């Protein structure tokens, strides 16, 4: 049982991620223990978790997690989804009353498959794009409704509270996943509210973030030119959408996408080997609107694995470790050692250098 501490670190949030690269399941309590070891980096204004592989019985369906401020928003969202999807299951997200969690919104999940006739009528070629447009429409047009998770065989659980309280509220110990990411928030320039807690998700991309995105305005306008809408009143939202755009839509490899988001300085590019230099120059010029400025460290979950990334001058902490098939990433080493006391290797990645941990190839092919 964790107790809330008094001392705080106002310059940082807490982030943590764990993956078993074999695809074997990890108890939800494991990630709770890791993030709770850094509670001094959090406040009670926001925390959350994302788990991959938690819905094996509905793995081929999109799992929409939606929060509602009032019942009319629930009814409008239900009607919207039924017009565009075959909704095979709708239910309340299981929760438990927790002393420090007050006034939560209504929380429901919908497991659904797109209607092929609607996709054909609207000339939308892929299921992913159809789901993306549905998420944007709900968040933008239905007052009081916020989709906070929209991937397959994954779920985001977040809200206003300390990480251990949010975990208890959502009964996280009852879930098992091959990949977990987590966040404890210390809000700076954006409000602490249920929809603004981390992780942020779009399709199979989920992200937790420590720091600030000072390029938010540029990134937001860049995304809007491709049909994205930023409606959740926080800078981190752009990061999830940038990943979806660069990797899913534009088909960039993960390492090239991270290079575009945390591109090296021109003076460093000039010193690279010719072949590498031309690739990095092209990424900087073509994807200038995707360059993320400001102090940040992020952990990203996706269907094939996870990666961690610092800003290019490493203004926020990030530590990585490995032991056997497990890879760990966190703001502080203590979080890793809380759940893995004797890692084989521990290191602090350099600024702009991603730590990429993907599922073993046979596992990824099965899950893909």
**Can you point out the beta strands (E) in 70-134?**
85-92, 106-114
CA dist 134 → 129, 338, 366 (Å): 9, 40, 27
* Active-site residue (options: 13, 164, 230, 340): 13
Find all residues with CB under 8 Å of 334, minimum gap 6, and list them.
37, 38
Phi-psi group of 23: left, alpha or beta (phi > 0 → left; psi -120 to 50 → alpha; rest → beta): left
Q: How many CA atoms lie within 13 A of 222 on its CB side?
A: 20
Q: Report the alpha-carbon distance of residue 28 to residue 34 in Å, rounded.
A: 10
3-state secondary structure of 128: helix
Evaluate whether 224 touches 202 at the Cβ level (below 8 Å).
no
For the record, the structure tokens of 264 come out as: 């090296």
DSSP per position, 279-333:
HHHHHHHHTGGG---SSEEEEEEETTEEEEEE-TT--S--EEEEETTEEEEESSH
Structural element, H or E, at residue 75: helix 71-84
Question: CB under 8 Å to 287, separation ≥6 — which residues?
Answer: 246, 260
Residue 13 falls in the annotated catalytic set: yes
3-class SS shares of the chain: helix, strand, coil, % to 5: 35, 25, 40
Tell me which DSSP letter residue 197 carries: S
- Asked if 85 and 115 count as a contact pair (C-beta separation under 8 A), the reply is yes
Catalytic residue annotation = 13
């Amino acid at each position: 049982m964790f107790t809330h501490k008094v001392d705080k670190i106002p310059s940082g949030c807490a982030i943590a991620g764990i993956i078993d690269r074999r695809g074997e399941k990890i108890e939800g309590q494991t990630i709770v223990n890791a993030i709770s070891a850094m509670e001094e980096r959090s406040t009670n204004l926001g925390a959350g978790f994302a788990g991959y592989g938690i819905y094996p019985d509905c793995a081929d369906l999109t799992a929409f997690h939606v929060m509602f401020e009032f019942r009319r928003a629930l009814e409008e969202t239900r009607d919207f989804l039924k017009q565009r999807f075959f909704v095979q299951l709708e239910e309340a997200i299981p929760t438990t009353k927790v002393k420090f969690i007050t006034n939560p919104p209504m929380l429901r999940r919908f497991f659904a498959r797109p209607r092929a006739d609607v996709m054909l009528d609207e000339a939308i070629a892929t299921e992913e794009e159809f789901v993306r447009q549905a998420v944007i429409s709900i968040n933008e047009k239905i007052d009081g409704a916020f989709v906070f998770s929209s991937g397959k065989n994954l779920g985001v659980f977040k809200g206003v509270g300390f990480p251990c309280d949010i975990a208890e509220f959502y009964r996280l110990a009852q879930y098992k996943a091959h990949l977990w990411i987590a966040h404890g928030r210390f809000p700076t320039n954006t409000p602490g509210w249920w929809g603004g807690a981390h992780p942020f998700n779009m399709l199979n991309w989920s992200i937790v973030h420590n720091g600030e995105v000072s390029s938010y305005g540029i990134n937001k306008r860049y995304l809007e030119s491709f049909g994205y809408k930023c409606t959740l009143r926080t800078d981190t939202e752009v990061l999830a959408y940038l990943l979806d755009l660069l990797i899913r839509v534009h088909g960039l490899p993960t390492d090239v996408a991270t290079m575009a988001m945390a591109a090296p300085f021109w003076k460093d590019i000039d010193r690279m080997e010719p072949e590498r230099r031309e690739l990095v120059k092209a990424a900087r010029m073509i994807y200038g609107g995707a360059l993320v400025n400001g102090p940040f460290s992020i952990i990203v979950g996706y269907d094939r694995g996870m990666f961690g990334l610092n800003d290019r001058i490493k203004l926020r902490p990030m530590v990585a470790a490995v032991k056997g098939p497990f890879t760990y990433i966190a703001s502080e080493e203590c979080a890793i050692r809380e759940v893995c006391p004797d890692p084989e290797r521990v290191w602090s990645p350099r600024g702009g250098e991603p730590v990429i941990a993907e599922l073993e190839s046979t596992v990824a092919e099965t899950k893909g």
